[in-house]
Amino acid sequence: MSVVAVIGAQWGDEGKGKIVDLLSEKADAVIRFSGGDNAGHTVINPNGEFKLHIVPSGIFYPRAICVIGNGVVINPGVLLGELDALKSRGVDVGNLHISDRAHLIMPWHILLDGLEEEKRGQGAIGTTKKGIGPAFADKTARRGIRTCDLLNPKTLKERLAGILASKNELLTKVYNVPALDLESIFKEYSGYAARLAPHIKDTTSLVNDLISKGSNIVLEGAQGTMLDPDFGSYPFVTSSSPLAAGACIGSGINPRRIDRVVGIFKAYTTRVGGGPMPTELKDEVGEYIRQHAHEYGATTGRARRCGWFDAVVGRYSTELNGFTSGILTRLDVLDEMDAVKICVAYQMGGKTVDRFPADVEALENCTPVYEELPGWKAPTTDIRNAKKLPANARKYVKRIEDLIKCPFHIISIGPHREQSIVIKNII
Ligand code: GDP
Ligand code: IMO
Ligand code: MG
């Protein structure tokens, strides 16, 4: 009986989809609590291979209810497309519940995401252009439209008309692009409302009642800690909090009800989009990892930047989230390496720094301090017992655990559900 938050510990794409699918076997509810369809979570299980963007990765278990929490911004067209695709592959989506407080991504958000990125030029963030930043900005500025508004056509029309008038001024007068049409957006969103209405409800009460009954709950994080707007490499971040604290805000579960916080760490580092990445490898080793591990974005298909494991980031992530368990993924990707490196500190202006700094320019110019360990040069994908891992692989895992101050309770050595070494049960 536990409430477990699963959190990306680096810059996203750590393998949260695989792990949520694995941990959800015993879950009564799986809840997405932040982000939107900027996320791309890969799940490979007996149903096939799926890239989920907005539907929780617990959808494959009939016993679990799946919840899109209040902290998620929802593009209703994308959500319906994902539900149709799942249904066409035989997955029952009747158990999906959508918070009546979640904000909607509107056509102007997507348009503005692209226009703002264009305007940033060289300093572009490299967003997914899904309208995430503009939708969260409007939520905070109190000019958002929520899923509960879809259930009330009068409110929907009134809010649409008020908000669209000022958005159209921005679009036509600042960006010189054509205005959007109120009637066609109202019609489009009324169509979404008709299909989504049965799923929209007060999910906070639903989930808190389940917790009171002693149910198992998995909170599915999106993005990663270093993309957090407060603690990440600002401004090269996303617009909602991927942290454990964000799990409370984005679901309506109070902090005292969270029993375990699980950090998902990739055995090396990847990042998509712009911004500093101290351990990035712009050489043949980085290219080897990208090709060998097929490090291309699940949402945009962009090449992921690859580099060595950054323990400064890892330690910071443990501190911010309070991980009770770590999960190390993609260890198998390093199986053929002669040697592996771990960044233990940064050299910055003549000083050695072991904390993640706020200043992005300092980060761009820092030099990582590495420890080098011998590779293990042996396949790990069929191993199911940690003691059977090659000695050098065990040394690598142990050194990371010591540096990030978090024990690994699962080691993932392949994308399939069963390619997992369980050291300690988490749920
Ligand atoms: P998420 O966004 O955190 O869910 O991660 P993504 O799905 O975007 O990217 C993770 C990728 O790694 C996916 O292609 C997974 O199928 C794959 N994957 C997850 N765990 C492992 C692992 O242990 N080994 C290998 N080789 N691939 C993995
Ligand atoms: P999952 O859940 C990796 C990155 C984008 C960009 C920055 C801001 O699959 O781990 P946004 O569209 O959110 O405004 O883009 O954040 N980003 C991700 N990178 N994995 C993700 O999600 C990401 N979601 C956003 O590439 O750099
Ligand atoms: Mg992803």
pLDDT at 229: 98
Task: List the domain range (segments joined by +) for residue 286.
Answer: 266-422
* Mean pLDDT across 214-239: 98
In the chain, the amino acid numbered 256 is R
Do 225 and 89 share a structural domain? yes
What average pLDDT does the chain have? 97
Q: How many domains does the chain have?
A: 3
In this structure, what DSSP letter does residue 333 have? G
Residue 123 lies in a domain: yes
Do 95 and 110 share a structural domain? no
* pLDDT tier at 376, thresholds 50, 70, 90: very high
Among all ligands shown, which has an atom nearest to the Cα of 295? 1
- Residue keyed to tokens 């990035």: 280
* Mean pLDDT across 381-397: 98
Residue 228 lies in a domain: yes
Do 317 and 235 share a structural domain? no
pLDDT at 25: 95
The residues that are catalytic are 13, 41
Nearest atom within ligand 1 for CA of residue 17: 4
Nearest atom within ligand 2 for CA of residue 38: 24
* pLDDT tens per residue, range 267-297: 999 999 999 999 999 999 999 999 999 999 9
- Residue keyed to tokens 């890969």: 42
269: which residues sit within 8 A by CB, 6+ positions away?
A: 10, 11, 277, 279, 280, 306, 307, 308, 309, 310, 313
In the chain, the amino acid numbered 321 is N
Structure tokens at 31: 């809840």
Do 167 and 234 share a structural domain? no
The residue whose CA is least distant from atom 18 of ligand 1 is 415
106: which residues sit within 8 A by CB, 6+ positions away?
A: 131, 135, 145, 163, 185
Would the pTM count as exceeding 0.85?
yes
Which of 161, 179, 196 is the last residue in one of the domains?
Answer: 196
* pLDDT tens per residue, range 19-55: 999 999 999 999 999 999 999 999 999 999 999 999 9
Residue 1 pLDDT > 90: no
Do 12 and 87 share a structural domain? yes
- Pocket residues: Cβ below 6 A from ligand 2: 8, 12-13, 38-41, 125-128, 130, 132-133, 222-224, 227, 238-239, 272-273, 298
Residue 327 pLDDT > 90: yes
Residue 272 C-alpha to ligand 2 middle, in angstroms? 7
Do 175 and 26 share a structural domain? no
Do 257 and 149 share a structural domain? no
- DSSP per-residue letters across 26-66: G-SEEEE-S--TT--EEEEETTEEEEESSS-TTTT-TTSEE
Nearest atom within ligand 2 for CA of residue 302: 26
Do 318 and 239 share a structural domain? no
Do 120 and 94 share a structural domain? no
Residue 42 C-alpha to ligand 3 middle, in angstroms? 7
Which of 261, 287, 305 is the last residue in one of the domains?
Answer: 261
Residue 124 pLDDT > 90: yes
Residue 392 C-alpha to ligand 3 middle, in angstroms? 29
* pLDDT tens per residue, range 251-269: 999 999 999 999 999 999 9
Do 226 and 148 share a structural domain? no
- Pocket residues: Cβ below 6 A from ligand 1: 8, 12-18, 40-42, 44, 293, 298, 329-330, 332-333, 412-415
Do 332 and 273 share a structural domain? yes
Residue 271 C-alpha to ligand 2 middle, in angstroms? 9
Is the distance from CB of 146 to CB of 128 less than 8 angstroms?
no
Could you give the angle at the alpha carbon of 176 between the alpha carbons of 173 and 177, nearest 5°? 115
- pLDDT > 70: percent of the chain: 100
Residue 398 pLDDT > 90: yes
Collapsed DSSP state (helix, strand, coil) of residue 15: coil
Work out the number of other CB atoms within 10 angstroms of the CB of residue 171: 19
Residue 427 lies in a domain: no
Q: Measured between alpha carbons, how far is residue 251 from residues 184, 203, 221, 248 in Å?
A: 32, 8, 11, 6
CATH of the domain at 392: 3.90.170.10
Do 255 and 270 share a structural domain? no
- DSSP per-residue letters across 138-206: HHHTT---BHHHHT-HHHHHHHHHHHHHHHHHIIIIIS--PPPPHHHHHHHHHHHHHHHGGGEE-HHHH
Residue 386 lies in a domain: yes
